[in-house]
Homo-oligomer: A and B are copies of this chain.
C-alpha cells in the first residue's frame, strides 16, 4: 500500500486550515465572562476581548446568561472552572454579586456593590466596581470638566453610587442627589461630604433649571421604557446630559437633550472608559 504520508503533506491537508483561520481561541485560552439577564445587549464581550488581543493576552470574555433564580447556585460553580479568571456583573446582579467577593477594592468598599470579580494569585476572589471610573473617564475623553460644576445625579443603585463617589472626587460645586431609597441618599450625602467638603450636597426631586450637568444612573429609559427619569419638557442648550444606560443607545432622555441642542454623553462611552481599567485589574496578580 502506498499513501501520501509526510508530515508536511498532512499539515497542508489537515493542520494549517483550522490552526491559522481561528487564532483567537485554543486550549490555552483564559476565560472571562459577563453575567446578566438578559445578556444579548451587552457590549463588553467584543470590547474586552479586543483589549486582550491588543495586549497579546490569550483570553476571551464570553456572555453568560443566567436567570435570577439560578444566580446564587450557578455562580459558585462557574467560579470553579480552573481557566476562568474573572467575571463582570451587569443588570440585575450588581448588588447581589458582592457576596462572591472575599475582599473588596477601594471603590467597592465605599459603595458596597461590585461590577467585576477576579481570581487573585492566592486563589481568593476580589471584587471592585468600575462604573464611576468609567463615567469620569468618558467626560475626560470629551474634554468636559466636572470640577466646580453644578451636577444633578438621578439613581444611586450599584452604578449610581459608584458614579457619585467618582464624581465627588472631581470636586463639583453642587451635587444634587435623587433616589427612591432614602438610605442610599443619606449614605451618599455623607460620602460626598467626606470626599469633597467644599461641594454643596442637596437631596430632593430632580430639577435641571440651575445645572451644568444632568446625569441619569437610574434604569428609567432602559430597553423599551419610554419614560424620562425627571419631569422636563425641554433643556437649556448649555446643559450637558449623561445617561448610564447602554441599551438603547439613544434613551428618551438623550433624544430630548439632542433635540434641545445639548451635548450628550452616552452609556457606551462610560463602558469604553472603564475597559482599559477593567483589563488592568483582570491581568494584575
> Chain A residues in contact with chain B, CB under 8 A?
1-5, 10, 13-15, 17-19, 21-29, 31, 39-43, 45-47, 49-51, 53, 60-67, 70, 73-74, 77-78, 80-83, 141-144, 212, 238, 240, 263-264, 266, 268-269, 272, 275
Contact = CB atoms under 8 A, between A and B. Distances in A.
A10 B269 contact: yes
A70 B60 contact: no
A21 B45 contact: no
Contact of A82 (B25, B66, B240): B66
Contacts of A60: 25, 60, 62
B47 A266 contact: no
Contact of A81 (B10, B53, B74): B74
A13 B39 CA distance: 25
Contacts of A23: 46
Contacts of A13: 141
So how many copies of this chain end up in the complex?
Answer: 2
* Residue among A40, A62, A66, A266 with max Cβ neighbours from chain B (10 Å): A62
A23 to B, nearest CB: 8
Contact of A18 (B46, B64, B144): B46
B45 A26 contact: yes
Nearest to A24: B24
B45 A3 contact: no
Contact of A63 (B5, B26, B39, B63): B26
Contact of A19 (B46, B62, B83, B266): B46
A31 B61 CA distance: 11
Given A5-B264, A74-B81, A78-B78, 10 more contacts: A2-B263, A14-B272, A18-B47, A21-B53, A22-B46, A24-B25, A27-B63, A31-B64, A39-B82, A73-B80
Contacts of A43: 18, 26-27
9 nearest CB pairs, A to B? A77-B77, A65-B82, A27-B42, A22-B50, A65-B83, A22-B46, A74-B77, A25-B45, A18-B47
